[in-house]
Amino acid sequence: GNLVRHILTMSDIRTAKAESLRKRLLSINPHITVKHISGSFPGEKAEVQKLLDEADIVIDCTASDAVLSSMSQGKWDFPKIFFSVSLGFNGKKMFIYIVDGMIFPDDTFRADVDPWMQCERVQLNQCAEINEGVGCWSPLFPCRFDDVMLSASIAVKVLEKAAILRPFKAGLYVYEQKEDTLGLPSYNLIEYPGKENS
């Protein structure tokens, strides 16, 4: 259903998304190592720790409460960059949560993100065409491929900055899509850690 917003194509239908994405990444750069997991993210602490133990950077694009909750069970011996990215209704907002530490603080994440998600739910409920709780996996999710690519390019640049400027200021970064005088979109940073003090 989400091929309209995905780098995978019709030829990938009927294959596991994780495996198809692994092949796609290797077709771009054969000098990298890509492992995939076909199945749910593990829920047990020991499995989570084993899975993420060697990672320097953990990128979450699932928008799944269960994954974030599972991820928070682990505690590691060296700091990792945890980078969670999700899009709001119509792709008009992008939420990036960054933590550079030994744990992923699920409670803090939820306290920072939940007020924004409540606003997103209001917008979703006001959309007459959508009367079910749909995620980005659904063809009904109102966001175009070009909006996804625009937000993805910014997310990659933010992640690169976080990796270079370690330790990076942890917390929630909210980007909002604005249009210029020609009606062309760009993203502006509207919320970030320490904003009220600046």
Residues 6 or more apart from 65 whose CB is under 8 A from it?
none
Only one residue has tokens 């890509």, namely: 34
Give the DSSP H or E segment for 78: none
Q: Please tell me the predicted confidence (pLDDT) of residue 98.
A: 96
Residue spans of beta strands (DSSP E) within 44-113: 57-60, 80-87, 93-101
Q: In the prediction, which pLDDT does 37 show?
A: 81
**Backbone dihedral angles phi then psi of residue 19, each to the nearest 5 degrees:** -70, -40
Query: pLDDT value at position 141?
Result: 67
Strands 185-191 and 171-179, bridge-based pairing: antiparallel
Residue 194 pLDDT > 50, yes or no?
yes
pLDDT 10s digits, 127-152: 755 545 455 556 566 778 888 899 99
Contact 26, 32 (CB under 8 A): yes
Q: What is the structure's pLDDT at 131?
A: 47
Residue 9, classified by CB atoms within 10 Å of its CB into exposed (0-12), middle (13-18) or buried (19+), is: exposed
Nearest to 99 by CA among 112, 114, 115: 112
Q: Could you report the per-residue pLDDT of 20-73, keeping only the tens digit for each? A: 999 999 999 999 988 888 788 898 999 999 999 989 999 998 888 899 999 999
Contacts of 35 (CB under 8 A, 6+ apart): 22
Express each pLDDT in 11-31 by its tens digit. 888 888 889 999 999 999 999
Indicate yes or no: pTM above 0.75. Answer: yes
141 close to 129: Cβ distance less than 8 angstroms: no
Cα distance between residue 142 and residue 144, in whole Å: 7
Give the bridge partners for 176, in sequence order: 93, 188
What does the alpha-carbon distance between residue 102 and residue 71 come to, in Å, rounded to a whole number?
11
